[in-house]
Amino acid sequence: MHLLLVGISHRTAPVDLRERLDFQTRGLDTALHALGSRHAAREAVIVSTCNRAELYAACEDLDAGREAIATFIAEYHGVERSALEPHIYGVTDLEAARHLFRVASGLDSLVVGEPQILGQVKDAHTAAHAARTSGTILNRLFHSSFGVGKRVRTETGLGSGAVSISFAAVALSKKIFGELKGLNVVVLGAGEMGKLTALHMKSQGVHQVTIVSRTMAHAARTAEAIGGASAAPWEELDTLLGAADIVITATGATSTILTKAHIEAVMRPRRSRPLFIIDIAVPRDVEPAAGEIEQVFLYNIDDLQATVRENMARRASEVTKAEAIVA
C-alpha cells in the first residue's frame, strides 16, 4: 500500500483556479462520498483551504491512483483536465508524509507559520473519519502530523507574532497608508478570518472597526469578542462603504458580493477620496474589475506574496528549526 497526495496550492495555481477547486463549497462529506464511489483509493482525506485543495490517499497503484484522483478533481468541479494539469502535483510515500507534516506545521502556508492551518488539517481528518474514508494508514499519518504541528508551535518561534493572512492584510494596509490611526475600517465577514483581521486593525489604533455580516447576531458576537469594535447589519453596507477608508472582505460566500457596478455607485459621492479593498476570501468576494475604478485600490490574497517573502526572511532561523522537527 502506498501514500499518494494529489493537489494544487498557492505555490502552483492562481487564485482564480483555487477558488474553482474549493471542496468546502458543497461540503467535504459530499466530496469524500463522491470520491469513494469511484473506488479510486482505499482511504482518502481532503484538505481544502483558501490556499490549497489536496487529496491524500492510500492506494495500491500510484499511477492509476494519480490518474483517477486528478480526473475526479477536474470532473467534480467542472474544470477541463487540460486547464488543471499544469498546476497539479502528485507526491508519493515518504515525500507525501513530509508534505503533510510541513502543511500542518505552517511551513507550506502563504504566510509561513500561520496558526489556523493545523486546525484545518484536523477538521479535514475529522470529516474523513466521519465519512469512513480514513483508515489505518491515513489515521496514523494525520495523527502524526498533529503531533508535528504541535511541536513546531511549542518548540520554535515560527508561530509567534504576525503570522496570519489577516496580519498580512494589515501589513499591506500600512504600506499604502503609513500610519493607520484615524482610519475607518469595515470588515465583511464575522468568521475567524474577519475577527483576526479586525483584532490586528484595532492594535494599530484605527479610529473605528465595524463588523458586517448577513447575520447581525454573528456580527455582534464578533464585535464583542474584539472589544471596541461595532457591529452593523448587512442593510447598512452601502453607507458603511461610503465612509470607509479600508474594506477587508473575508466572507464565506460562494459567489461575488461586491461587483464593479456596486463599487462604482459607492464611489460617486466620495469624489476623489480613495477606497482600499483587500479581498482575502476564496472564492473572491469582490469582482476583479472593481480594481479598474479610479481611486479604488483592490488587492486579493495572491497580492500578499511580497509580505510573505519578507515574513519568511525574518523567520529564516525558525524555519530551519521547524524543518528539523518535520524531518
Give catalytic residues, as residue numbers: 50
Q: How many CB atoms lie within 10 A of CB 217?
A: 10
Query: What is the rounded CA–CA span in Å between residue 102 and residue 106?
Result: 6
Query: What is the rounded CA–CA span in Å between residue 79 and residue 26?
Result: 16
- CA-CA distances (angstroms) from residue 253 to 78, 209, 281? 19, 21, 8
User: How would DSSP label each residue in 74-135?
Assistant: HHHHT--HHHHGGG-EEEEHHHHHHHHHHHHTTTTSSSTT-THHHHHHHHHHHHHHHTT---
Angle between helical axes of 116-130 and 136-155 (0-180°, round to 10): 160
Residue 316: all three cell numbers together:
529564516
Residue 292: all three cell numbers together:
479598474
